[in-house]
Structure 1
Amino acid sequence: MICPKWLPIARATLPVPTRFALRRNTRSSSSSGVAGFRDRISLEENPRRPSTRGPRASTKKSDTNSKPNSPTGYGFEPSGLRDGKHMLTIDGLPTSLRAADFHRLATDKLSGWGNLINEVRQERDPWTMEPLGKYHVAFSSSAAASLFRHKFERILRIAQVKNRCKTELWASKVPPALLDAGRDPASELERFTILPGSYQGRLDAHQGRVKGKMAWQHVMDAIVKSSRVKTRPSAVLIELPQATFSAAELKAMIHQDGVDSGHRWRTDVLFHLSETLGFRKDVFKNTTRVPLQDDVDFRHKHSSRFVMICENPETAWRFIRSWNQRILEYDMEGVMMRNRVKVSYIEI
């Protein structure tokens, strides 16, 4: 018997919900606890069942070779980063960067640069959705990509000069080759939020043509298409480091939390990443990464992570503020267990 109750910490202000029971058949000897049992959920109010309908039917005649409407059988268009034809790839950056960090640097001084970056996407492992610190920045021209790369490398070197200098006269130590005529180096650093001056790692940056969507984007396409959210879908990554639940159990907890708080969560699909092993192989054709099922770290991440589709970005960020770092306390066969939830945003 598992009797979860929420222990709000940090900024969590939602009241403690009424208890409900999640009954699990524990006869399975599987270490992951994800598969091998049938979930039975008892709630005062049953959560809304996920829609079993596929995407809205097309008015075009379907041929006999059409793919089934399921997350494992969708066809994907080979479209690349939105509107961009040229791409700058930078590997070795922090995984916490947002697109705004790149746009902020691009819009500084040079007029029109704001329109030259078409899109920024960080590469993720398609099996675990782990961010990899490798960013793909799409531009409308190769010249724009070259200008951005040059400026990025130049200002990073200025930041490193400032970090090494222990006085307020650091600007006088900047080599003339790094200065932009008529520009104060201090003002240039104000817009540079991609890396700190203390960074001493090795960056790998190269330019090329956009080759299509990344494998993790194909996975997200399949998850979104299986949901009813079509207008402004957003996604969050949920991780339960200390224990594994089924998607049905976690969905029931989230539903009950919304009922008890009086603000029901406007979410739809809750997808367990272990199900990616059942996807078609062509979903992963644009990656060299493979599922390392013999690796303990990979198995743990693969079995303890979920992707949840929200109806809009506002719901996704509200859920992150409410659930990130929340502690779940529950009874696991007579032993009290504590599980700290981790939630992060996925830009799709």
Structure 2
Amino acid sequence: MPRATRATRIAGLLASVLMLVGAVAACGSSDSASDSSKSGPSGSAKASESTAFPVTIAHKFGSTTIKAEPKRVVTVGLTDQDAVLALGTVPVGTTEWVGGYKGAIGPWAQDNLGSAAVPTVLKDTGTGPQVEKVAALKPDLILALYSGLSKAQYDTLSKFAPVVAQPKEYNDWGIPWQQQTETIGKALGKPDEAKKLVDGVEAEFAAAAKANPAFAKATAVMATPYEGTFVYGSQDARSRLLADLGLKLPTGLDKAIGNRFGANISKERTDLLDQSVAVWILPDTGTAVTKLHQDKLYADLKVVKEGREVFVDESSDFGNAVSLSTVLSIPYVLDRLVPQLAAAVDGDPATKVEQPAS
């Protein structure tokens, strides 16, 4: 082949190769751009989380500023751990209240724990948080929303990390689960996720109320035989369960118990128990019921004679979930409590209110 012709053909081949390389590079560039756009949402989410701080949260003792995303969270509030877990963070420390669960994490929250290390459990001794053990966990955020934290306790804990205490507009231990979840969402830099969680659970309440229109016409009370008869007020999480399902709490309930989450009532106020349904949290659902019905004043009420009582074993997972009433435990509760309430208010005294199978 003549040299000139070969050169011309080689030049042509080189040009073709260069064009092909350019095309491949362009495709690679396009793919990279595409990959970048695919990673954009997560990048945006991270940017969104970073712009969530600093955040300032008001509470009973003033306000607390959280400067950066917390990594080591300790929950002093007795039920705060569930909202933290629901938002994708595993606390390094939790406070045990009911159930005796490992890490103070109930069965309704186990999936949220996953394979993460189980939190260190602090004990609620009745005298406030275990300050030395809290400090030893080296927290960068302490949550005390569902609590009765005192100013002195708040000041002491604040020496170790920012503390978000209970809100001032409610009684101690009176924060609604919705506000608890959304406040913790703000503290963790995930306010939108928290709102979605709340909306999801509220939708379950709405669905249950719609499926049981009798709830809207019924009254209900939550009580326990603690040192006599202890009735829960409108700001207690257990009473909020009933109200969120559309049932009405007894008229004059809060006036009778005062500015507390609940209180013992006198024999003269047994009328507070005579509602469309009375929900009892009992140490057991056998001998405790028998003892309850031995009180003639109570046994003579219509709510008893017409079989409109609901009994919850406080030592069961169901009972513990009722007491906690968190964004994670409430769906677990509704699956069990709603059928009981429906049976109690169906207008037929012959309908037996069954205990949940598990």
Between structure 1 and structure 2, the one with the greater Rg is: 2
Structure with the bigger percentage of helix: 2
**TM-score (structure 1 length as normaliser):** 0.22
Higher RCO structure, 1 or 2 (CA under 8 Å, sep 6+): 1
Return the structure number with greater strand share.
1
Please give the TM-score of this superposition, normalised by the length of structure 2.
0.21
